[in-house]
A and B are shown apart, each in its own frame.
Chain A
Amino acid sequence: MPIQQRLLLIIGAVFVFFFVTNKIKKAKILMGDAIFWVVLSAILVLVGVFPELIMVISAKLGFMSPSNFVFLVVVALLLVKSFTSSAQISLLTHKVEELAQEIALYEAKNAEKDRK
């Protein structure tokens, strides 16, 4: 991997790391959810500093260049993350609906008691 690409990768990953830790500091993301991003940025830094492993794997798998391999891995990871986020939103929607339903039924029951 050319040195420019390695530098870009490291700078980007460090930026992500500080962005995420800043969000934790401002209480904008749960630590449990931030782990993914912190670990991902740490891995990218490692890839930038020690590209040899990636170069060997990408050559073994027949990639034209190691950066193609890095792109593919990142895209795949993001797709997985995007789906799990989608599933998480589904579950949250379901929970919000359940809560709204329970509030509605609870209030109706109370109103009925008051009438009696």
Chain B
Amino acid sequence: MRVLAVVPAYNEEECLADTIRNLVATCPTVDYVVINDGSADKTWEIVEREGMNGVCLPVNTGLTSAFRTGMKYALRNGYDAVVQFDADGQHDPRFIATMEEEMASSNADIVIASRFLDGTVKPSGARGAGSRLISWLIKATTGTTITDPTSGMRMYNRSMIEMFAKGFDVAPEPDTVALACRKGRRVVEVQVVMHERQGGESYLKLSSVIRYMSRTCLSILLFQWFR
């Protein structure tokens, strides 16, 4: 199975180099592509200096568009699976192999790296509450239990790659997971450990959390019935 790690990077100069070094050292068989999403800092200079495989968007277009660029790259270069991988060092590349095995053995369309599959209790506070709400919504609308819907580390198979590359408004977010469940795709989870972000700023700033939650919840509750 040819696996591509798609690494969207928006202003990730602090830890991109370490993340990619770690990825290459841990998973020598996995290819990667950094998608520089019109960063204002030195992210692209680092990609060029380190000789990384990268693609540079001329303007900032957002995580969804950056990820879709990676999906087009994967589709055009004939990859069998794509793993969505954060540039900030949160995701541990050791688990890519675990996800790959799970995808092969269970014939899954999406494999989610879950922090809570083994019964680990979700944190209290806004983050945990948001995750619980989305889990509940997915369970209620599709009947599928997803313990960690907001995990940013997901592996997608060929048919999902095509859906991302060619679709309209397909975001690498929980609502796409819910849509896949409803369309009868196979979504499974594997247990992983995640790290604290090593630096940089999240796409999900506090100011955009409300926007994110309302879009995600509405999309799961309402819009997916019309898609």
Query: Taking beta carbons and an 8 Å cutoff, which residues of A are in contact with B?
Result: 94, 96-97, 100-101, 103-105, 107-108
Residues of chain A contacted by B68 (CB below 8 angstroms):
97, 101
Question: How far apart sit A103 and B58, CA to CA, in the bound complex (Å)?
Answer: 8
Given pairs A101-B68, A108-B56, 8 additional interface contacts (CB within 8 A): A97-B65, A100-B38, A101-B61, A101-B72, A104-B35, A104-B58, A105-B73, A108-B54
Instruction: Determine the main DSSP class of A at the interface with B.
Output: helix
Question: How far apart sit A101 and B165, CA to CA, in the bound complex (Å)?
Answer: 10
Residues of chain A contacted by B62 (CB below 8 angstroms):
97
Instruction: Give chain B nearest CB distance to A47 CB in angstroms.
Output: 37
Q: Decide if B69 touches A104 in the complex (CB within 8 Å).
A: yes
Pick the contact of A97 from B54, B55, B61 — CB < 8 Å? B61
Residues of chain B contacted by A103 (CB below 8 angstroms):
57-58
Number of interface residues of B (CB under 8 A): 18
Pick the contact of A101 from B54, B57, B169 — CB < 8 Å? B57
Instruction: Give chain B nearest CB distance to A58 CB in angstroms.
Output: 36
Residues of chain A contacted by B73 (CB below 8 angstroms):
105, 108
Q: Decide if A100 touches B55 in the complex (CB within 8 Å).
A: no
Q: Decide if B58 touches A100 in the complex (CB within 8 Å).
A: yes
Q: Decide if B57 touches A104 in the complex (CB within 8 Å).
A: yes
Residues of chain B contacted by A108 (CB below 8 angstroms):
54-56, 73
Pick the contact of A96 from B35, B61, B72, B169 — CB < 8 Å? B61
| B225 interface residue (CB < 8 Å to A) | no
Residue ID in chain B nearest A99 by CB atoms: B58
Question: How far apart sit A104 and B169, CA to CA, in the bound complex (Å)?
Answer: 19
Q: Decide if A94 touches B59 in the complex (CB within 8 Å).
A: no
Would you give 7 A-B contacts (Cβ < 8 Å), ordered by A?
A: A94-B168, A100-B58, A101-B57, A103-B57, A104-B55, A108-B54, A108-B55
Instruction: Give chain B nearest CB distance to A98 CB in angstroms.
Output: 8
Residues of chain A contacted by B57 (CB below 8 angstroms):
100-101, 103-104
Question: How far apart sit A105 and B65, CA to CA, in the bound complex (Å)?
Answer: 13
| B76 interface residue (CB < 8 Å to A) | yes
Q: Decide if A105 touches B76 in the complex (CB within 8 Å).
A: yes
Residues of chain A contacted by B56 (CB below 8 angstroms):
104, 107-108
